[in-house]
Amino acid sequence: MATRQKLILFFLVLMMGVIMFFPFYWMTVSSFRTNPEIFSTKINLIPRSLTIKNYYDLITTTNFLRWIFNSLIVALSTTILGLFFSTLAGFAFAKYEFWAKNIFLLLVFVMISVPRFVTIIPVFKIMSDLTLTNTYFALILPFAVNPFAVFLMRQYIKTIPDDLLDSARIDGVNELQIVLHIIIPLIKPALGAAGMFIFMMSWNDYLFPLIMMNDEKMMLFTVGLASLKTLYIVEYGMIMAGSLLSTFPLIMGFLLLQKQFIAGLTEGAIKQ
């Protein structure tokens, strides 16, 4: 009976894996197809002919490489600033007692529940008044602090013993050094999870870049690929090629941060 249950579970997991992987496979295959084959009424899981014309046209006839560069600058800057300021805020909420602390913490919870698109108009007005539209700052500064990351850091830092920090203060270590040399090494798993969350949100963002950037050279790849779809023609092959290439930074980021997740699980098991 146990063997039968394992076979059923294996089959269900296999089916779920196929269902989740199939869109990625279809995107990959379509990026090497010609437009007539993409629009063909026959469903061919294996393309009859392979071509790299979509990739060549994407790189030579558009500013795709500049779009990817813009996205990397914005996503990496947002991630670094988000982790830094969120760690400082989480440290303050976890280890300090100050006036209206609970009120500010409640505001953090409220900010987590508010959808990002609700803030588009006020953020655009502020960036416009500061003449920061069509610059990287318009997409970096509004998200330099991530409410979810603040909450995550606060919860993780709260588990660090106060005696460890007090002993460092007795040795003459200031608060910033405590954060840099004690807190950050102890919360690497949380930093990995929060960093991936912030990077993915910034990398996949479409609405804010669409509003803030109207110069083609300053577009992010999400807006740039969407511009390939016009009223009279849709370059599906180029869109699929660009979509496939844009997944590589996310895959690389996951592979690099995977060790942090494993370290977090192992650390939790050892503490138990």
Range of the domain at 130: 58-271
Q: How many helices (H) and strands (E) does the chain have?
A: 16, 0
CATH of the domain at 207: 1.10.3720.10
Q: How many CB atoms lie within 10 A of CB 161?
A: 8
Both tokens of 61, joined, read 């006839």
Residue 75 in this model has a pLDDT that exceeds 90 = yes
Strand ranges in the chain using DSSP code E only, listed in sequence order: none
- The rounded percent of the chain whose pLDDT value lies above 90 is 20
- Looking at the predicted structure, is the pLDDT value of residue 256 above 80? no
Structure tokens, 45:
């899981």
Residue 240 falls inside a structural domain: yes
pLDDT tens figures, 134-180 = 999 999 999 888 898 998 888 888 888 888 888 888 888 888 888 88
Residue 48 lies in a domain: no
pLDDT in the model for residue 262: 59
Whether residue 248 lies inside any domain: the answer is yes
Residue labelled with tokens 């503490």: 271
- According to the model, what pLDDT value does residue 72 have? 93
Please state, in angstroms and rounded to a whole number, the distance separating the CA atoms of residues 60 and 241: 13
Residue 271 pLDDT grade (very low, low, confident, very high; cuts 50, 70, 90): very low
Number of domains in the chain: 1
In a domain, 34, yes or no: no
212-216, 235-239, 261-265: lowest mean pLDDT where?
A: 261-265
35 found inside a domain: no
Question: Confidence class of residue 69 from pLDDT cuts 50, 70 and 90?
Answer: very high
Q: Is residue 46 part of a domain?
A: no
> Could you give phi then psi for residue 122, rounded to 5 degrees?
-65, -40
Please give the full DSSP string across 41-97, using - where no structure is assigned: SS--SS-SS---HHHHHHHHHS-HHHHHHHHHHHHHHHHHHHHHHHHHHHHHHHH--
Q: Quick one: pLDDT at residue 2?
A: 66
Instruction: Identify the pLDDT of residue 272.
Output: 40
The reported pLDDT for the residue numbered 234 is 78
pLDDT value at position 268? 42
Residues facing residue 229 across a β-bridge: 234
Query: Please, what's the b/e burial string for 188-219 (b: 16 or more CB within 10 A of its CB; e: otherwise)?
Result: bbbbbbbbbbbbbbbbebeebbbbbbeeeebb
pTM above the 0.75 mark? Answer: yes
